[in-house]
Amino acid sequence: MALLTVENLRTTFRTDDGPVGAVDGVSLSVDAGKVLGIVGESGCGKSAMSLSIMGLLPKTATVEGSIRLGERELIGLSGSELRRLRGDDMAMIFQDPMTSLNPVMRIGEQLIEAVRLHQKVSKVEARQRAVAGLAAVGIPSPEDRMRSYPLELSGGMRQRVMIAMALLNRPRLLIADEPTTALDVTTQAQILELMRDLRSEVDAAIVLITHDLGVVAELCDEVAVMYAGRIVERATVDELFAHPQHPYTWGLLASLPGRNLASERLHQIPGTPPSLLRPPAGCRFAPRCPFAMDVCRADPAPALTSTGRGSAAVACHLTQDVRDREGARLSGEEQA
């Protein structure tokens, strides 16, 4: 059963220039024990979506639609109800660990406080859980680290502390928003490995947000490709790599390292994503799409439609024949 169900989510920021539709009608669901990847370029609304789910948006934002954790509707909950859910039923890992760590408080105090905020346990018990939490994310000498301040640790160790903090109360839903983007390549690989280990131990539904399809391939069960506030393609990871359907997905695949030059040139995505202040009238990807037809510039993209292969769905005016053919070109090279 789905642990997280998002239906027709619309998140709009009020700005001096007008409303910015950061999330524009997104629907998705994640089962317990599964990892859903959300992939898309910077500015496509990934963080706005995760903050909407966590109830952490600024006051300038409005949220419409439905976000359910199990049976419970989250939209419309009060600040205090959401605070109770956060860190308990659901937790978030950010790109910058200092978003959730307090620089002037020792790590141990922060972890103990996080446990005691949500669970009625003694200070001794909370401390034991904090140390165990640090050990579980591979922090050496966790007892000593309890006395450290966040800025005394390396970026990778800080990221581990934040992950430990997010997992302390065994959340049912974990959202990781670009957890490795700010790290160097080696540390990135270590944190990904940690997340992979945790995925089997923590029986949570995980939403992993990234701009990198390579990360998706390593960690996720399913993937939703986002472009300009909308999901343009959704599939299991195997299906996405075997039969990629949307021209934007082809572009993301072509930009993965180790691709063949011919496919790179054919599928690479020129230009930049549109402004969400005034998005294009037709398909939002049409201005950058090498395959765009007149209908793509005139009419909005169709709703996500099943490709007939499992749960896979795509929002594109191209015929399935064309999508299968072009997709096969890329996935064929993948296997070659």
Ligand X SMILES: Nc1ncnc2c1ncn2[C@@H]1O[C@H](COP(=O)(O)OP(=O)(O)O)[C@@H](O)[C@H]1O
261 three-state secondary structure = helix
Pairing of strands 18-31, 2-15: antiparallel
The listed partner (Mg ion, ligand X, none) that binds 15, CB under 5 to 8 Å by sort, is: ligand X
Q: Which of 58, 140, 257, 308 binds ligand X (CB under 6 A)?
A: 58
Report in angstroms how near the CB of residue 246 gets to ligand X at its nearest: 17
Report in angstroms how near the CB of residue 40 gets to ligand X at its nearest: 6
* Distance from the first to the final alpha carbon of the chain: 37
CA distance 8 to 10: 6
Per CB under 6 A, 62 contacts ligand X: no
Instruction: Please compute Rg for the chain using Cα positions.
Output: 21
Per CB under 6 A, 13 contacts ligand X: yes
Residue 147, token pair as written in the block: 């006395």
Q: How many residues bind ligand X (CB under 6 A)?
A: 15
Report in angstroms how near the CB of residue 168 gets to Mg ion at its nearest: 24
Residue 86 DSSP one-character state: B
Q: Residue 228 corresponds to which amino acid?
A: A
Residues 250-289 that bind ligand X (CB under 6 A): 276
Kindly indicate which of the ranges 37-45, 153-161, 279-287, 327-335 contains the residues binding ligand X, using the contact rule CB under 6 A: 37-45
Report in angstroms how near the CB of residue 324 gets to ligand X at its nearest: 29
CB-wise, 155 or 290, nearer to Mg ion? 155
Here the contacts of 191-198 (C-beta below 8 Å, separation 24 or greater) are 191/156, 191/159, 191/160, 191/163, 192/218, 192/219, 194/137, 194/138, 194/160, 194/163, 195/163, 195/219, 198/136, 198/137, 198/163, 198/167
Report in angstroms how near the CB of residue 211 gets to Mg ion at its nearest: 8
Q: How many residues does the chain have?
A: 336
Q: Which of 6, 28, 36, 44 binds ligand X (CB under 6 A)?
A: 44
CB-wise, 25 or 138, nearer to ligand X? 25
Per CB under 6 A, 47 contacts ligand X: yes
Sites of contact with Mg ion (CB under 5 A) = 46-47
The listed partner (Mg ion, ligand X, none) that binds 174, CB under 5 to 8 Å by sort, is: none
CA distance 237 to 140: 34
Report in angstroms how near the CB of residue 181 gets to Mg ion at its nearest: 9
Site residues, ligand X (CB under 6 A): 13, 15, 20, 22, 40, 42-48, 58, 60, 276
